[in-house]
Structure 1
Amino acid sequence: MQYNFYIVDDDRSIRQILKNIICQYNLGDVIGEADHGITAVHDIPILNPHIVLVDLLLPVMDGIAIVSELKASNSKAHFIMISQVTAKEMVSKAYTNGIEFFINKPINVIEVLSVINKVKEKMKMQEVIQSFEKAMQGINMLKGLTAHQESTGYSDKDKIKKILSQLGIIGEAGSNDIVELLLMLMETDENSRNHMLNQKMSELYNRLNLRYVHQYEITSNTAAIEQRIRRAINKALSNIANLGIEDYGNELFTRFSNTIFDFGEIRKQMDFIRGKTAYGGKISVKKFLEGIFVILKNE
């Protein structure tokens, strides 16, 4: 990180010596200087230097007054006092008002380097602490969000959509029909649900069509519903087969290939994709629905 410096001293030669040291030892850039406090108080909030070297004894406004005023205006700069004064009361007052280190006059290169490097180390440590604090805030926010989700829970609709998203068909037109069909089945007791699943699929499509009319005032037809659902499930079959071709041990492939599809049909689809056969695997809408119920029950 390149640090910026601002120097306040009414002695031009002192300012030049400090600039030379900063430049010669690649300590940073001097972005401003002043020979009295009024200019410094005006410039520093605008230039926003990292480190300010300020003389204690200045006309009109001394170094302690400069630091006090800048600190009061929430300046983030780090202040190093330059002074010949050794009186304990004055030094104590300077530290109380925000001075972090002293450089004694006459200027000594080794002391300047040592003090500036100490300030830099302190700044780096503050940056590390701030990064940890931000990280902890992020973790706490995540914990809070997770706790909120655990307390409120995911809706059945959200859980179904998550599965369809994993299958890669959430954007398919038939995905909405699958969600509504599953919700319709979940709203009944287990005996009624089993009875409905034992019926012909055309009966379920008719029930879903009536649900659209009564709950959403949407007019559709059974054939269109069936076509959308079968197209979406076929897409899911192809997606899972492709996962198996790329990685037979893929977690989603392992999870879905035997649960919502017949594994033999998945193998046929894989061979079809590879160009080994002329026909792909077949789907069973009923097995697909029953498989999703199994997954939802185990989550």
Structure 2
Amino acid sequence: MNDRFYIIDDDKGIRRVLKNIIKQYDLGTVIGESDNGKDAIKDIKVLNPPIVLVDLLLPGVDGIGIVSEIKKMNIDTNFIMISQVTSKEIVSKAYTMGVEFFIHKPINVVEVISIINKVKEKLTMHEVINSFEQAFHSMSMLRDYKSNMKTQTVSERDRIKKVLSQLGILGEAGSNDLVEMILLIWEEDDTEKQRLLHQKLSELYKMLNKRYEDDHDASSNVGAIEQRIRRAINKALANIANMGIEDYGNEMFIRYSNTLFDFKEVRKQMDFARGKSNYGGKISVKKFIEGIIVELKSE
């Protein structure tokens, strides 16, 4: 996907750094830039960029003001805010107004790439959902489709993918296995859900493999399924730990560090990432799956 970016920052050097990162790592195309909010709002109305990187502190209209104005115009733009500000009130206000993520100054290349890729994952997921909806509309089947169980399955599938996207593992091979395993459990009634959650993991892996055979006429090695799932969850643990290191008040860190993982293990992973320990945290596949099911029930 060749995404289009618009950059707003009154520091020419920052704009140049961001443009270079986007170009060097083939993240997309910068279609415009501005050093002030007034001109930026005019440009965004015309250019309609999918992703806007906007500085919080700007002369005239600040970053939050820009986001507010664009949202009022119902322009479908995803905002990434750039800031040195650490005030929780200001950060909370930015999220409320529609900011997707924060990039902290001074600019860190790894953080910029990571945040942009997360927003791109979200855009990709929305495109997939929209394409499904358009297909169902064109066949005059959307209303009937929503009335049966398949609609619920598609809906739950998207909600599971949203969580995995927030954890930064939607692109991992094991993410597909996780989605299918969670759906395998979720589709059952409450009594059967509890029974499956108390099954040995080896049995759940076998059931998932049989699901692949029955639904897709495809089989996978049970051991390979287990390894893919464990690698994906380990990646999620590392990502959550990094969120906590960058911002202990991060909404995703607070939400998932204790529901999908044992918080003590998250702390160990944080110490490992900081170089304070030779060992990272450990995962529990069962706790991770149970945590996402709890998330599905709570929404």
Give TM-score, length-normalised by structure 2.
0.50
* Distance change >3 Å, CA 136–CA 284, structure 1 → 2: closer
Query: Which residues in structure 2 correspond to 1:244-283 (within 5 Å)?
Result: 244-283=244-283
Residues 14-55 of structure 1 deviation map (CA, whole Å, 9 limit, x = unaligned): xxxxxxxxxxxxxxxxxxxxxxxxxxxxxxxxxxxxxxxxxx
* Distance change >3 Å, CA 138–CA 208, structure 1 → 2: same
1:139 counterpart = 2:80: no
What runs of 5+ residues in structure 1 fail to find an aligned partner?
Answer: 1-127
Once residues 159 and 71 of structure 2 are traced to their aligned partners in structure 1, the CA distance between those partners, rounded to angstroms, is 29
Once residues 172 and 296 of structure 1 are traced to their aligned partners in structure 2, the CA distance between those partners, rounded to angstroms, is 21
Tell me the equivalent position of 1:205.
205
Once residues 194 and 225 of structure 2 are traced to their aligned partners in structure 1, the CA distance between those partners, rounded to angstroms, is 21
Residues 139-164 of structure 1 deviation map (CA, whole Å, 9 limit, x = unaligned): 3999xx9xx99x97871100000000
Paired letter, 2:174: G
Paired letter, 2:164: L
* Distance change >3 Å, CA 287–CA 141, structure 1 → 2: closer
Tell me the equivalent position of 1:194.
194
1:170 counterpart = 2:105: no
Secondary structure of residue in 2 paired with 1:182: helix
Once residues 228 and 278 of structure 1 are traced to their aligned partners in structure 2, the CA distance between those partners, rounded to angstroms, is 24
Once residues 292 and 159 of structure 1 are traced to their aligned partners in structure 2, the CA distance between those partners, rounded to angstroms, is 10
1:215 counterpart = 2:215: yes
Once residues 285 and 76 of structure 2 are traced to their aligned partners in structure 1, the CA distance between those partners, rounded to angstroms, is 41
Secondary structure of residue in 2 paired with 1:248: coil
1:284 counterpart = 2:284: yes
Secondary structure of residue in 1 paired with 2:238: helix
1:231 counterpart = 2:166: no
Secondary structure of residue in 1 paired with 2:194: helix
Secondary structure of residue in 2 paired with 1:249: coil
Once residues 241 and 285 of structure 1 are traced to their aligned partners in structure 2, the CA distance between those partners, rounded to angstroms, is 17
Secondary structure of residue in 2 paired with 1:220: coil
Once residues 249 and 195 of structure 2 are traced to their aligned partners in structure 1, the CA distance between those partners, rounded to angstroms, is 36
What runs of 5+ residues in structure 2 fail to find an aligned partner?
Answer: 1-41, 49-69, 78-125, 134-142
Larger of the two Rg values belongs to structure: 1
Residues 262-292 of structure 1 deviation map (CA, whole Å, 9 limit, x = unaligned): 0000000001111111111000000000100
Give the share of equivalent positions with the same residue, in percent: 60
Structure 1 position 298, deviation (Å): 1.2
Once residues 213 and 242 of structure 2 are traced to their aligned partners in structure 1, the CA distance between those partners, rounded to angstroms, is 37
* Distance change >3 Å, CA 278–CA 213, structure 1 → 2: same
* Distance change >3 Å, CA 212–CA 273, structure 1 → 2: same
1:155 counterpart = 2:90: no
1:294 counterpart = 2:270: no
Tell me the equivalent position of 2:7.
none
Secondary structure of residue in 2 paired with 1:161: helix
Tell me the equivalent position of 2:182.
182
Structure 1 stretches of 4+ moved >2 Å: 134-142, 151-154
Residues 86-137 of structure 1 deviation map (CA, whole Å, 9 limit, x = unaligned): xxxxxxxxxxxxxxxxxxxxxxxxxxxxxxxxxxxxxxxxxx9xx8xx9899
Secondary structure of residue in 1 paired with 2:255: helix
Secondary structure of residue in 2 paired with 1:155: helix
* Distance change >3 Å, CA 214–CA 271, structure 1 → 2: same
Paired letter, 2:74: I
Paired letter, 1:286: K
Once residues 239 and 208 of structure 1 are traced to their aligned partners in structure 2, the CA distance between those partners, rounded to angstroms, is 26
* Distance change >3 Å, CA 261–CA 141, structure 1 → 2: closer
Once residues 191 and 279 of structure 2 are traced to their aligned partners in structure 1, the CA distance between those partners, rounded to angstroms, is 37
Structure 1 position 187, deviation (Å): 1.2
Query: Which residues in structure 2 correspond to 1:101-120 (within 5 Å)?
Result: none
